[in-house]
Amino acid sequence: MEESLNYLKEQFHLGEIDIRTYSPLTLAYIGDAIYDLVIRTILVEMGNTQVNKLHKRASSFVKATAQSEMIKKIEGVFTQEEQTIYQRGKNSKPHTTAKNASLTEYKRATGFEAVMGYLYLTNQWERMIDLIKMGIDEGEMNGRK
C-alpha cells in the first residue's frame, strides 16, 4: 500500500505533507473512507455474497457506535502520537452528528477515524491493520449481520 500511495502522489504531483498541519476533522474524513475500504475488503474477501448483505455487515462495523466500542479495546495500545491524534479528533467540534449514536460515541468515533487517517497518510498501513484486527476479532467478522 505504501508504494501505491507514493505512486498516487507521484502521478498527481502531490508534495509531502506535514501531517501536524491537518485538522483532526480532515484526518477523520480520510480515516472514515480508508477504514470503510478495509472493512469492505475483508468482507468481500470472505466470499461472494449479496451486496445488500455486504452493506449491512459493513455498516455494523463502520457506524459510530461500533467504532466507539473498538476504541475501548485498542486505546490502551496507542503510541503517544496516536493518543494525541485520537484526543484531538475526539475533542474536535464536528458540524454534524450521527443519527444513531450519542454525542460521546460520535466523538470517540471521530477520534478513531482521525487515527486511521493519520496512519494512512503517514504510510503506516500495517499498524492501521493491526489496530483494526485488535478491535475486531474474527468471530465478529463472521457473526455480524
CA dist., res. 87 & res. 140, Å (int): 27
Question: How far apart are the C-alpha atoms of 75 and 92, rounded to whole Å?
Answer: 18
Sign for the CA dihedral angle at 63, 64, 65, 66 comes to positive
The set of residues, in sequence order, having a beta carbon less than 8 Å from that of 111 and lying 6+ positions away, is: 24, 28, 71, 85, 86, 87, 88, 89, 90, 91
> Mind telling me the catalytic residues?
32
C-alpha grid cell, residue 84: 494525541
Nearest to 64 by CA among 103, 23, 31: 103
